[in-house]
Structure 1
Amino acid sequence: MQQHRSSAPAHALTVLTLAVALTSGAAQAQQATPLEDNRRITDGYIAIAYELGAILDPALVPGGTSAVRPTWFTFAPHASRTGGEGMYGAAIARRLINTARGFPSWSVTHALARVGIDAQLHATTRQIALELVVRGLPVDAAASLAALITSLNGEALLDVRTLTITVARAVQLYLSAPGFWPLDKVESVVVTLERTLHEGNVAIYTDIGGSGQLYLEWRQGAGGAVTAERVLEEFTLVDAISAEAVGAYDFALAHAFDTPRPQSFDLLFPGIHYKSLLVAAFALYEKARVAPTPEERDALIAMGNNYIAWREQHDMAQPVFTPAVPRPDEVSRAALLQILTPLLRTHFGTVVWNYADYANSQPDRDGNPLTSPPTEYNWAVFPDRWSGILFAFDQAYLQPTGLWQMPAPLPDPGGSTNGS
C-alpha cells in the first residue's frame, strides 16, 4: 500500500512548469535519468490533481482527501508511479549487468546478493531466474531478466500457468535480442523497457499535463464565473477544433448515463482530432462542478475521464508501444509488453488494480484451461489496454477517497534495492 503524502504544492503551475522542462534542451543537458524524470512527472500530476480537484470540491486541500469522483489527473500520479516501478526494476537489472561485466556470478543467489537483493525476501525473482537458467540462460543474464520481470508484481506468477508462459516468452525474447554476448542481449531487453516507459511517461505528461496546466492558467485569468459554455467558447488548445469539442461535449451530456458508458470514440467521432476531447473534458468538469445531484456530477466526470484517457492511450501511448520504425538495439516492444501484461498492477492509493483481475473477469479467449487468461492479453494492443483501463476506473470509482493517498517517491536505485 502506498504511503499517504501529507502535503503537496499549493499551486500546480510552478511544479508543472518545471516538469514540462523535461523535454527542453536544458533538461537534456542535465542528463536526468528516466527515474528522476518520473519523480518530477509524478509530483507534477499530484499538484495539478489537487488544484483541479479543489475546483470540483472546494473543501479539498493539498494532502487532503475528497469523496467527489476523481478526475483523470487524480489517477495519473499513481499510473506514473507504476511506470516508475518498472524503471526502477530496469535500474536494478542494469546494476546486475554492470556488476557481472566485472566478474561473473557463480549462482543466481550470488548474482542477486551482489546488488543487495535478498533471495529469501525476493523468492519469486530467484525462482524465475532459476527457471531461465534451466532453459539455457547464463546465470547473470537470467538474474537480470528475472529482476526486470518481477519488478512490477511477482505475485501474479504464483499461478503456475502464468509463470510457465512468462518464462517461455522471456526466453524467446532473449534469444531474439540483438547482440552476441549474453549480457549484451539481456541489456537490450532492459533498455527497451526503460525507454518504452520513459518515452510514454514524458509524452503523456507533456500532452495531457501540459493541457491541464494551460487550462488552469486560462481559468485563473478568465475573470468572472467560469462555465462549461465559456470553456468551449474561449479555451483553446493547439490542434483542438472548437466545433468538435462542442459536439463531443453535447454527446457526453446526452449519454452520460448510458450503460455501459460510451467508449468506442473512434466509431462515435469519426475523423475527430482527439485533442478536441481534452477541451470537451474540461468543459464537462465545469458542468459537473455545478451539477444538481452527485449522480449527475459523477457521470459527467466519468465521461470527461474517458475522453482524456482515450487521447492519452490512443494518441500518446500507442505510438510508443508499437513504434512505426523499431530501433535496431531493442527487442520488440510489443513482445516485451505481452510478457509483462499479466504482472501489471497499480496502487491507486488504497485501491489496488491488477490486470489479472480484469482478464480473469472476461470470457476465456482460447478456452484452454492450461493457459491463464492474463497471458492471453497484450498491453501493447490498444483494445486490451483500453478495456483494462476502463475496468480500473470503475473499480476505483467505488472508493474515491482512496485515490487521494498519493504515492511516495521511489527510493534511489543507487542506494537500497529493497522493493526490487
Structure 2
Amino acid sequence: MFSLRALPALLAAALLFSTASARAQSAPTPLEDNRTITLGYIDIAYELGGIIDPTLQPGGTSNARPNWFTFAPHASQAGGKGMYSAALARNFIAAARLQPSLSLTNALDRLGLSGVLRGQLQDLSLQLIAQGLSTDAAAALSVMTSALNVGALADVRTLLATASRLGALYASAPGLSPLDKTEVIVVTLERTLHEGNLAIFNDIGGSARLYLDWRAAATGPITPARVLAEFTLVGAFNTEAQTAYTYALAHAEDSPRPNRMDLIFPGLHWKSLLVAAFAVYEEARLAPTPARRDALIAMGTNFVAWREQLDQAQPVFTPAGSPTDEVSRAGVLQALTPLLMTDFGTVRWKYADYAYAQPDRDGNPLTSPPSEYSWADFLDRWNGILFAFDASYARPSELWVMPEPLTDPLG
C-alpha cells in the first residue's frame, strides 16, 4: 500500500530517473496543479466549516457532520497520489529506454520497492509478463498502481481480473515498442486524474470562493432566503435552487437519504444545486439541534457531489471522443476500480469494502465483487461515494486531519 513516508527509496529512484533539463517558464505539472488545488480546498473547508460550526478554528476540528468541502482536500490528495505514481512510472519508462532491466527483480530493485508492497506489485507484474508484456512494461504498469489499495490483489480473482484488463489495454494501445504502448496507458491515467482535478476545482471550488466572497461583502444577517434571492452563479437558476432547497428541508431526515437527483428533479440544471447547497448549509448553521444540522449538511453535500460527479467528472472519465494518443479512459478506470482508496483524514475508504458489502452482482464465485464495478460508470461511482460519506459521518472530527499537499519531486 502506498505511503509517502514508507517509500523514500521510490522517491529517490524517481529523482534518479528524472531528466536534468530545467522547466523554467513552463506550465505547472499535474502534481503542481494538484498541490495548489488541495491547498485551495483546505482553505475553503475551514472557511465554510467555520460558518456552519462557529466553534471551528483554522487547523482545528469539528464534531459537526463534514460538508463536501471537508471531503474535497482528501479526494484531491488521493488523485494527486495517483498522479505521483504515474510520474514514477513515466520516469521508470524513460530510464528503461536507456537501460532495460535484466530481470523483474532488477526492475523492482531499480524502483526501490521493498516489503509487502514489492510482493504485491511483483505478483501483478508476473501476471502481466504471462500475458506477453516485457519485464519493464509490466513493472511500469505495476508501479502505476502503487498509490492504490494493492492489498486488494490478495484476492486472486481480483489479481487476475486486474492483470487481464491491463493486458487488454496494452494490446489496444498505439505504439511501436512495449514501452511506447505502456507509456500511453500511464499518460492516459495521469491526464484523466489531472483533468478531473482541474474541472472539479474550477467549478465547485470556484463557486465556493464566489459564495464566500459574496458572503463576506454582504451587510446584515445572512439567511438562506438571502442566498437564494441574491447569490447567483453562471449556469444556475435561482428558481430551481429554491425548489431544491425546499425539498432538502422537507426530506433531510428521510431514511435512506435522497440521492437520485435525476429522479427527484428531472430537467434541473445541476449547477442550480450549488446555490441550493449553500442555502442548505446556511440553514444547517441555524438548525435547532445537532441532529437537524447534520441531516441538512448531508443533503447539501449530496447536492454538491451530484453536480461534481455528473457534470464535471463524468465528461472527463468518458469523453465523447478519445485522443489518438490514449487508450480508453473508461477502460483504465475499470481496471483500477477494485484498488481505489482514499484516506479521509484517519478514515480509510476502499472501494473493495463497498463492493464486498453489496449483493453479488453476477452470482459467479469465480469473479470478485470489486471487479464487477467500474469507476467510469456514474452509478457505480456515485453509490461508492455515498458509502464513503456514510462511513465518514460516523467519525466527523477525523476528517479534519488534513493531508499534507504533495510536492512534485520531479518538478
TM-score range, shorter chain: over 0.9
Alignment of 1:9-408 (within 5 A): 30-118=26-114, 122-408=118-404
1:348-396 deviation digits (Å, cap 9, x = unpaired): 0011111111111111000011111000000000000000001110110
1:59-93 deviation digits (Å, cap 9, x = unpaired): 21111110011110000000001101110110010
CA contact (8 A) 2:189 2:332 kept: yes
Name the SS for the 2:95 alignment partner: helix
In the other structure, the counterpart of 1:14 is none
Name the SS for the 1:347 alignment partner: strand
Paired with 1:38 and 1:301, the residues of 2 have a C-alpha distance of: 26
CA contact (8 A) 1:173 1:336 kept: yes
- Aligned pair count reads 391
Name the SS for the 2:147 alignment partner: helix
Paired with 2:209 and 2:132, the residues of 1 have a C-alpha distance of: 51
Paired with 1:115 and 1:344, the residues of 2 have a C-alpha distance of: 22
Q: CA deviation at 1:29?
A: 5.7
Q: CA deviation at 1:110?
A: 1.3
Name the SS for the 1:240 alignment partner: coil
* Cα gap change, 1:205 to 1:188, in 2 (>3 Å): same
Q: Normalized against structure 1, the TM-score is what?
A: 0.91
Q: Which residues of structure 2 form unaligned runs of 5+?
A: 5-23
Name the aligned partner's letter for residue 192 of structure 2.
Answer: T
Name the aligned partner's letter for residue 372 of structure 2.
Answer: E
Q: What is the percentage of aligned positions where both structures have the same residue?
A: 63
Name the aligned partner's letter for residue 373 of structure 2.
Answer: Y
CA contact (8 A) 1:2 1:347 kept: no
Q: Which moved more, 1:397-406 or 1:104-113?
A: 104-113
CA contact (8 A) 1:2 1:407 kept: no
CA contact (8 A) 2:121 2:142 kept: yes
Paired with 2:38 and 2:403, the residues of 1 have a C-alpha distance of: 8
Paired with 2:405 and 2:248, the residues of 1 have a C-alpha distance of: 36
Name the SS for the 1:384 alignment partner: helix
Q: CA deviation at 1:31?
A: 1.4
Paired with 2:88 and 2:73, the residues of 1 have a C-alpha distance of: 22
Q: CA deviation at 1:135?
A: 2.1
Name the SS for the 1:130 alignment partner: helix
CA contact (8 A) 1:124 1:150 kept: no
CA contact (8 A) 2:253 2:295 kept: yes
Paired with 1:356 and 1:209, the residues of 2 have a C-alpha distance of: 29
Q: CA deviation at 1:122?
A: 2.1
CA contact (8 A) 2:108 2:118 kept: no
Paired with 2:116 and 2:334, the residues of 1 have a C-alpha distance of: 28
Paired with 2:205 and 2:267, the residues of 1 have a C-alpha distance of: 24
Q: CA deviation at 1:2?
A: 9.0
* Cα gap change, 1:120 to 1:104, in 2 (>3 Å): farther
CA contact (8 A) 2:134 2:178 kept: yes
Name the SS for the 1:171 alignment partner: helix
Paired with 2:116 and 2:338, the residues of 1 have a C-alpha distance of: 23
Name the SS for the 1:188 alignment partner: helix
Paired with 1:90 and 1:121, the residues of 2 have a C-alpha distance of: 16
1:147-175 deviation digits (Å, cap 9, x = unpaired): 11233111111111111111111111111
Name the aligned partner's letter for residue 256 of structure 2.
Answer: P
Paired with 1:121 and 1:34, the residues of 2 have a C-alpha distance of: 25
Name the aligned partner's letter for residue 99 of structure 2.
Answer: F
Q: Which residues of structure 1 form unaligned runs of 5+?
A: 4-27, 416-420
Aligned-residue Cα RMSD (Å) equals 1.6
CA contact (8 A) 2:277 2:303 kept: yes
CA contact (8 A) 1:92 1:413 kept: no
In the other structure, the counterpart of 1:17 is none
Paired with 1:141 and 1:31, the residues of 2 have a C-alpha distance of: 28
Paired with 2:99 and 2:197, the residues of 1 have a C-alpha distance of: 34
* Cα gap change, 1:48 to 1:385, in 2 (>3 Å): same
Paired with 2:3 and 2:402, the residues of 1 have a C-alpha distance of: 7
CA contact (8 A) 1:349 1:405 kept: yes
1:299-338 deviation digits (Å, cap 9, x = unpaired): 1100000000000000000000000011111000011100
CA contact (8 A) 2:153 2:159 kept: yes
